[in-house]
A and B are shown apart, each in its own frame.
Chain A
């Protein structure tokens, strides 16, 4: 590995840009994601920044059970994120539909049917600690030696 590459790896590990999208949740997981931004968890010390702009995001947090209104839109949003990118499903909703997945429901989980999901954080809602450790463990796998791997 070249020196330049190891420098890139180091810098990238300190700059994880996050966007989140709610595709139809009860707001429980949104509140927990917002709690991650609070001083108690202090995400900047891990190098996580939330811009909520897909064009500059590395990690997309997907929240919610995929309501029909998101048909075609979530895929478009995923396309907008530049490579390397990774999507993390937050909560039970994008994994199984949680409590909304009942007979005759309109929601269409799991979200992995629509965009590739790299990690799942189960829980209704998951704790901010669980969300943070998921982001921190999945991000390096995606960015390390990205140019060399290609």
Chain B
């Protein structure tokens, strides 16, 4: 009996085993370098085209601010969901995250934007706030008066017969200014993002 206990003790109390049992640790886990983390600046010049803000699905995650070095996108941690759409959307490659830029280069893809504007005619009261606020309209007809009535049909939005009408949806830049200025929530802008293969200039 005593001998067999001694035998077991000798077998199981090997210093190496005991040390491993008490102090074994797996290597600390590292975040892999290819992880699509919060977008970072590459140092390229931002030209304030705001594609990043148009693409971003998370409220309050990104804005573009004027810094002493010019326009710069700022990512807000706690709002950003690390989707990487801003990285893909930027035409100048200002942002980078994980392997997005490399795979866009190899796959020859880019994001294409289009917008859809829906006006709920039951809610719209024809006040024209949307047409007056729209920055695209402002460029076409700077004289547009309140009420949104205008003579030219080149405008993006105008009010006619007491309702807002969308004339040239292809001119929309997706800024959603109209949405914010509509008192009735009658106008809605939907962003349609498509990843297109082989951008047109190379077709």
What residues make up the interface of A, taking CB atoms closer than 8 Å to B? 41-42, 45, 92, 95-99, 101-102, 120, 122-124, 127-130, 132
CB distance from A13 to the nearest CB of B (A): 14
Is B78 a contact of A120 with CB atoms below 8 Å? yes
Bound state CA distance, A101 and B30, in angstroms?
31
Bound state CA distance, A14 and B109, in angstroms?
50
Is B59 a contact of A92 with CB atoms below 8 Å? no
**How many A-B contacts are there with CB distance less than 8 Å?**
45
Closest chain A residue to B23, Cβ basis: A45
- What total of chain B residues lie within 8 Å of the partner, measured CB to CB? 17
CB distance from A92 to the nearest CB of B (A): 6
Closest chain A residue to B180, Cβ basis: A103
Would you give the 0/1 interface string for B1-44, flagging 1 where the beta carbon is closer than 8 Å to chain A?
00000000000000000000000111001110001000000000
Is B82 a contact of A123 with CB atoms below 8 Å? yes
Contact of B31 among A41, A102, A127 (CB under 8 A): A127
Bound state CA distance, A14 and B164, in angstroms?
66
Query: Which residues on A sit within 8 Å (CB–CB) of B199?
Result: none
Query: Which residues on B sit within 8 Å (CB–CB) of A129?
Result: 29-31
Is B59 a contact of A42 with CB atoms below 8 Å? no
Bound state CA distance, A142 and B96, in angstroms?
37
Is B79 a contact of A98 with CB atoms below 8 Å? yes
Contact of A99 among B29, B59, B77 (CB under 8 A): B59
Query: Which residues on A sit within 8 Å (CB–CB) of B58?
Result: 92, 98-99, 124
Closest chain A residue to B81, Cβ basis: A124
**B57 is an interface residue with CB less than 8 A from chain A:** yes
Contact of A98 among B25, B29, B81 (CB under 8 A): B81
CB distance from B75 to the nearest CB of A (A): 11
Is A122 a contact of B59 with CB atoms below 8 Å? no
Query: Which residues on B sit within 8 Å (CB–CB) of A45?
Result: 24-26
